[in-house]
């Protein structure tokens, strides 16, 4: 299996830049953590990949957060990613399963919904985060991210995200964003469109055993594309911890803490992003009450 990683590249003639990611293992991790159905895995897998791609070139030390709020049965879907190669996310209704669409693919568009909004927050690690909202294009994730780039960033782009599953689980996941630079011309656009229409699917190339640089070269055939970074490892990683949960409990008043200690014997919290469960026992809850000021 290809290791998860992300790579940035630029063409020698200065017409395009690209970022490509393989995300099979982290999508499989997300599926296991959240007990995702096949359809939910396909949707969240694409969103995790898309957030990873955006974070790699939109911020150097902060994070990118995507929230898909469509009218489909999956409900809200939220992911965030950092340029350090960490990504996490969840869907509101992880067990939703739909029939395959007319093309024989998982019906992510119907699951997310084509009516609603994509909310994008860019936190560059300093100053106020920048927030944008665009209407959903199709609910297919890639198309919606592309609409955000065109509408909010005024950047001509091609966005490809894919998740391939079998009865055994996640077999391949990954994606690519190609952006036009100021030196691009009509020939650049025609070459890109021709490539996209002929290379097949991203996950098909992965299942043929191609490495990340080989896939990049295949999709961008005809362009002299050169990597400008090393391959950065990607992983599903959450910022939650027992310490953060305890800090959250400290905002409660003594009465609430004592009620949990005496009636439940513990306090329990579950992280939406990674599904990790944290428990604080009775003795520690009572200890916390002694630190709370009335």
Mean of the pLDDT values across residues 148-162? 89
CA distances from 115 to 4, 99, 200 (A): 32, 20, 28
**What pLDDT is recorded for position 208?**
92
Answer yes or no: do 79 and 167 share one domain: yes
Answer yes or no: do 259 and 273 share one domain: yes
Residue 74, class by beta-carbon neighbours within 10 Å (0-12 exposed, 13-18 middle, 19+ buried)?
A: buried
Q: Is the pLDDT of residue 30 over 60?
A: yes
Is 36 a domain residue? yes
Answer yes or no: do 189 and 219 share one domain: yes
User: CATH number, domain at 283?
Assistant: 3.90.1280.10
Give percent above pLDDT 90 in the chain.
73
Is 196 a domain residue? yes
Residue owning tokens 């300093």: 126
Is 294 a domain residue? no
Secondary-structure percent of the chain, ordered helix, strand, coil, rounded to 5: 35, 30, 35
**What pLDDT is recorded for position 215?**
93
Give alpha helix (H) positions in the chain. 24-34, 38-58, 108-112, 142-152, 186-198, 202-207, 212-219, 242-249, 254-259, 282-289
DSSP code of 230? P
Q: How far apart are CA 258 and CA 264, in angstroms?
A: 10
pLDDT band at residue 28 using 50, 70 and 90 as cut-offs? very high
Between 109-123, 185-199, 205-219, 233-247, the lowest mean confidence (pLDDT) is in: 185-199
Number of domains in the chain: 2
**What pLDDT is recorded for position 278?**
94
Residues spanned by the domain of 278? 242-289
Mean of the pLDDT values across residues 221-231? 93
Answer yes or no: do 205 and 148 share one domain: yes
pLDDT band at residue 59 using 50, 70 and 90 as cut-offs? confident
* Domain stops at, among 213, 236, 259: 236
User: CATH number, domain at 192?
Assistant: 3.55.30.10
pTM of the predicted structure, to 2 decimals: 0.93
* Domain stops at, among 216, 236, 256: 236
């Amino acid at each position: 299996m290809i290791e998860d990683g992300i790579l940035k590249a630029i063409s020698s003639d200065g017409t395009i830049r690209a970022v490509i990611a393989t995300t099979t293992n982290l999508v499989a991790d997300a599926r296991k953590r959240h007990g995702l159905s096949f359809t939910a895995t396909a949707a969240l897998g694409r969103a995790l990949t898309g957030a990873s791609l955006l974070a790699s070139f939109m911020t150097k030390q902060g994070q990118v957060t995507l929230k898909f709020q469509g009218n489909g049965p999956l409900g809200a879907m939220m992911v965030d990613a950092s340029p350090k190669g960490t990504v996490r996310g969840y869907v509101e209704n992880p067990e939703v399963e739909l029939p395959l669409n007319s093309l024989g693919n998982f019906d992510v568009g119907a699951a997310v919904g084509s009516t609603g909004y994509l909310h994008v927050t860019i936190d560059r690690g300093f100053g106020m985060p920048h927030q944008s909202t665009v209407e959903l294009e199709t609910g297919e994730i890639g198309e919606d991210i592309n609409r955000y780039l065109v509408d909010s960033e005024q950047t001509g782009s091609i966005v490809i995200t894919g998740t391939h599953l079998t009865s055994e689980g996640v077999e391949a996941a990954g994606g690519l964003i190609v952006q036009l630079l100021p030196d691009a011309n009509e020939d650049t656009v025609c070459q890109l469109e021709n490539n996209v229409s002929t290379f097949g699917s991203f996950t098909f190339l992965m299942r043929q055993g191609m490495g990340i640089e080989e896939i990049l070269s295949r999709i961008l055939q005809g362009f002299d594309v050169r990597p400008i970074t090393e391959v950065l490892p990607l992983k599903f990683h959450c910022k939650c911890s027992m310490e953060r949960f305890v800090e959250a409990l400290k905002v409660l008043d003594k009465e609430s803490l004592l009620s949990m200690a005496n009636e439940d014997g513990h306090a329990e919290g579950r992280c939406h992003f990674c599904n990790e469960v944290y428990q604080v026992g009775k003795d520690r809850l009572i200890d916390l009450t002694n630190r709370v000021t009335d």
